[in-house]
Amino acid sequence: MFYYLWISLLLFFVIVGIKSYLIQLENGLIVTNMRDQVSWGLYIANFTFLVGVAAAAVLVVVPAYVYHFDPIKEITVLGELLAFSSIIMCLCFIVVDFGRPERFWHIIPGIGKWNFPYSLLTWDTIVLSGYLILNTFLPLYLLYSAYYGKQPRSGVYTPLVLLSIPWAVSIHTVTAFIYNPLPARPFWNTAILAPRFLASAFCSGPAIMLLIFQILRKFRKMEIKDEALFKIADIMAYAMFFNILFTVAEVFKDYYSQTAHLSQMRYLFEGLSGHKKLVPYIWTAMALEFFSFMLFIILRHKPKKIIMNVGCLLIITGVYIEKGLCFIVPGFVPDPLGEIYEYMPSFHEVAISMGIFSAGLLIYTVLSKPAIEIMRGKLTFRGKL
């Protein structure tokens, strides 16, 4: 009963999102609050966040198949399905951000005309497409083997697992490279951006996975050991430390140097010329990330699920705010002519974003149900090969 109510709720938000997108298609991007001064908004912010969620699947794959940590092997497929769903959502956010979505074919490999290897958007298309293929084939192969009662052949999955590790790093690294070579956007123009992206990804992505795994364990009777959950949480604690360290290093560099580039950082943390819409958001995000880090330090000495779950919620919220609008918008404010335009998403942007997130959750829900039954041995091939 709960399963169908959940599906119905997701379908409702998907329909609301489609309706809002049709209005955007009819009227153009003017229905959003993006303008010439701030040309990237909530869509690209969500894209950046979800690339990190997809990349974080490697934190499940590496302990399971590289270090042979057996408790995590039970949840590897679920982590890869989350990466698959996240990439689908990333592509959807790219499409809705297009002013002319019918031109999406330009970035399809083999069909579109690429400016390769000079265009970083081309590189991003390659790594995202490749990662999507990896996270389609690998879980399908593992589920196929389980369905037919076969032992997965290491000669098949081991090369794919080893390839997925640098590929997961590459999708977020290339995404960071889209931002940081832009000299006219000094807020993004920093060499530390790629490791900062990876550190935040290895916090928020596993936090989402931990919550999902516990929900599945409760409602789908999935056998997931606490040992596996706490091992992932332990890795997250280190990642959050580096995420906070890199952020503080960026803030120190801009404030201590007192260059003209400080204006964008100042707009974010204290406001600029009376414009301070993002100030409460960034300080909230920083507080949530700091308190989540402290909770995960406590978790190492007192492994309790309530501490872990609260810490996960704080991490997801904090990273989503910091890596979303608080990262995208300050890169445009003030613009090269000194004009300040304060961006906040419109209703249509929020509705479309909720529709895409709901579609991603719907895909994950539908795929995870048979996957769990196969992994539990309840759904197997009973005929003769």
**19 or 380, greater pLDDT:** 19
pLDDT, average across residues 194-202: 91
Please tell me the predicted confidence (pLDDT) of residue 384: 52
Report how far residue 45's alpha carbon sits from residue 283's, in angstroms, rounded to the nearest whole number.
Answer: 18
382 Cβ neighbours under 8 A, 6+ residues apart = none
* % residues pLDDT > 70 (the chain): 94
Cβ distance 231 to 212 under 8 Å?
no
Largest CA distance in the chain: 75
**32 or 164, greater pLDDT:** 32
Please tell me the predicted confidence (pLDDT) of residue 70: 64
pLDDT, average across residues 103-129: 78
Neighbours of 369 (CB within 10 A): 15
Q: Residues 256-305: pLDDT tens digits?
A: 888 767 889 999 999 988 899 999 999 999 999 999 999 998 888 888 88
Q: How confident is the model at residue 109 (pLDDT cuts 50, 70, 90)?
A: low
| Single pTM value for the model | 0.91
- Is 39 a residue whose pLDDT tops 70? yes
Report how far residue 269's alpha carbon sits from residue 330's, in angstroms, rounded to the nearest whole number.
Answer: 10
What tokens were used for 200? 């935040």
Report how far residue 371's alpha carbon sits from residue 195's, in angstroms, rounded to the nearest whole number.
Answer: 33
Q: How confident is the model at residue 353 (pLDDT cuts 50, 70, 90)?
A: very high
What tokens were used for 368? 């995870």
Please tell me the predicted confidence (pLDDT) of residue 66: 64
Q: How confident is the model at residue 68 (pLDDT cuts 50, 70, 90)?
A: low
- Is 69 a residue whose pLDDT tops 70? no
69-73, 184-188, 236-240, 276-280: segment of lowest average pLDDT: 69-73
Domain 15-375: give its CATH code: 1.20.1630.10
Please tell me the predicted confidence (pLDDT) of residue 67: 63
Q: Residues 42-67: pLDDT tens digits?
A: 999 999 999 999 988 777 777 666 66
Q: How confident is the model at residue 248 (pLDDT cuts 50, 70, 90)?
A: very high
Q: How confident is the model at residue 165 (pLDDT cuts 50, 70, 90)?
A: confident
Structural domain boundaries of the chain?
15-375
Please tell me the predicted confidence (pLDDT) of residue 226: 79
Cβ distance 324 to 42 under 8 Å?
yes
Report how far residue 357's alpha carbon sits from residue 36's, in angstroms, rounded to the nearest whole number.
Answer: 26
Please tell me the predicted confidence (pLDDT) of residue 229: 83
Please tell me the predicted confidence (pLDDT) of residue 65: 66
Report how far residue 133's alpha carbon sits from residue 110's, in angstroms, rounded to the nearest whole number.
Answer: 15
Report how far residue 349's alpha carbon sits from residue 97's, in angstroms, rounded to the nearest whole number.
Answer: 10
Q: Tell me the average pLDDT of the chain.
A: 87
Please tell me the predicted confidence (pLDDT) of residue 175: 92
